[in-house]
Every structure is written in C-alpha cells, then in structure tokens.
Amino acid sequence: MVDPRLLEILVCPRCKGELEYRTDGSERLICRKCAVAFPVRDDIPVMLMDEAVSLEVSGREN
C-alpha cells in the first residue's frame, strides 16, 4: 500500500493532473486526463511515462 501522504502530493508527470489510486487486482495510479495508468511496485509508484500503460489500449479504463 502506498503511503497516503505520498498520494496527496503525487501528480501526473505529463499533465500535472490528479491521480486516482486503484488496487483492483494490481496497484496502480490512474490519470484520467491522459488516460494512462502508472504501476506501483513494492509500494513504490513508478511515475515514468515510459512505464505508463495506456488505458485505451489496455481496456482497463474502469
């Protein structure tokens, strides 16, 4: 689980928008504006655009 204090300050590296923390099957941070999901590995968010997964391609929008 990602530290709640960290979640309060994290933003999307592309648009600086708000992120949504999801734990449905796998931990990830979602930017609805950019339609990407950032993985969380070992409780550490990986906030690199190279690691982001497109929600449109993956079909995991919801």
> What is the topology classification, in CATH, of domain 4-58?
N-terminal domain of TfIIb (2.20.25)
- CA–CA distance, 15 with 60 (Å, rounded to integer): 20
Q: Can you say whether the dihedral through the CA atoms of 36, 42, 44, 48 is positive or negative?
A: negative
- CA–CA distance, 15 with 49 (Å, rounded to integer): 11
pLDDT: is 1 or 59 the higher one?
1
Tell me: pLDDT of 61 over 80.
no
- Any idea where the domains of the chain sit in the sequence? 4-58
Question: For 2-59, what is each residue's pLDDT tens digit?
Answer: 999 999 999 999 999 999 999 988 999 999 999 999 999 999 999 999 999 999 865 5
pLDDT at 56 (0 to 100): 83
Q: Look up the pTM and report it.
A: 0.86
